Amino acid sequence: MGTKFSTRNLEKLGYNICFGRHFPLNWQMLALHGAEIIFNPSATVGVLSEPMWPIEARNAAIANGVYTCPINRVGTETFPREFTSGDGKPAHKDFGYFYGSSYIAAPDSSRTPGLSTDRDGLLVAELDLNLVRQVRDKWNFPMCERLKLYSKALNEVVQDDFHRTLSSKSQNYRM
């Protein structure tokens, strides 16, 4: 799944690896298992994902009452042999430009400025874990999470004989 959970020195850390950031359930599962700071190291490029970069981890921080730390490298990597990326473009030797822009998002929707898009950098910040508890107490999202309903719906869609349908016969899940 690309996720990992760890508890060290009383700080609860989660790791959502690269592409995992596109899946809200990854962030949610890490938070449900106690993570208060979730790192998302990535090596991501280009036009497709860059518009989502400032949004996904920030939204995850808000929705799950955690700090998120999306980390991306900068620069271009060149390979000795040409390859295709399944995007219809001709074979090439570079993967694309890694746009950096690492930042930290807080559960109260604030965030740090992003690091450079073209230079290596180091982001140092003091994270107040008390803010995690304050935001969770204020919003109280767990009271409305409906995890049992989600569990039932997810259990159905992971069955081998499940087929996506949009019809009047489909099970109605009011969220």
Percent of the chain with pLDDT over 90: 62
**What are 57's two structure tokens?**
């981890």
Q: What is the pTM of this model?
A: 0.84
Contact 48, 86 (CB under 8 A): no
Task: Give residue-wise pLDDT tens across range 11-66.
Answer: 689 999 999 999 999 999 999 999 999 999 999 988 878 999 999 999 999 999 99
Q: Given pLDDT bands bounded at 50, 70 and 90, which one contains residue 4? A: low
E strand or H helix that includes residue 168? none
What mean pLDDT is reported for the chain?
88
- Helix (H) or strand (E) holding 6, with range, is strand 3-8
Q: Do 41 and 71 meet the contact criterion of CB atoms below 8 Å apart?
A: yes
d(CA 36, CA 26): 14
